[in-house]
Amino acid sequence: MKAQSEYIGFVIALIIITILLIPLMFYLITISSPSAKPVNYNRLANLQINGGSVLLYYNSSNNPKYSYIIVYKPNGNFTLDAVYYIYKGGIINITTRVLAVNQYKQIIGNLPKPLVYNFTIPTQIFSYPLILQITAYNSTVFVLLQPNETAVTS
């Protein structure tokens, strides 16, 4: 009778160990894994643009004095590398025709430039959607700008 009760106690202890302690051990071994995952810089850059750190507005006008990409909230961590426009289903590069302009409307130079400047848009392109190639945190983000609208990441 005593051997039988010891055997039942041993079986119950074995069940407790296998059901509770072994899964707990695996859980404790992998508990540090989430902190070891790499940071997704592309998602971070998207959140920064949409979250309000950089606010871009495409001021569309057929008057060359008023057609600009306006940067409302400048941020030196972001760089405008290229500008494209969408024409009849095609994407056309106009990077060399876009110039950075300071707050006094003086031309600073060609792209790439940090997003602390406004940018001119060629007169012929004022009514077409733009695609901006922005680099931030070692990642590239493409931003779709409709005429007279704020930035929307694509």
pTM (predicted TM-score) = 0.70
Q: Are 154 and 144 in contact, with CB atoms under 8 Å apart?
A: yes
Give pLDDT tens digits for 43-82: 878 877 776 678 889 988 878 778 899 988 888 889 999 9
Q: What is the three-class DSSP state of 62?
A: coil
pLDDT at res. 154: 46
Which helix (H) or strand (E) segment holds residue 40: the answer is none
Give me the chain's average pLDDT, please: 85
The DSSP code sequence of 88-144 is TTEEEE-GGG-EEE-TTS-EEEESPEEETSEEE--GGGTTS-EEEEEEETTEEEEEE
Q: How far apart are CA 137 and CA 79, in angstroms?
A: 10
Q: Are 46 and 141 in contact, with CB atoms under 8 Å apart?
A: yes
Q: Tell me whether residue 139 is exposed, middle or buried, using C-beta atoms within 10 angstroms of its C-beta: 0 to 12, 13 to 18, 19 or more.
A: middle
Which helix (H) or strand (E) segment holds residue 79: the answer is strand 75-87
Q: How far apart are CA 50 and CA 1, in angstroms?
A: 73
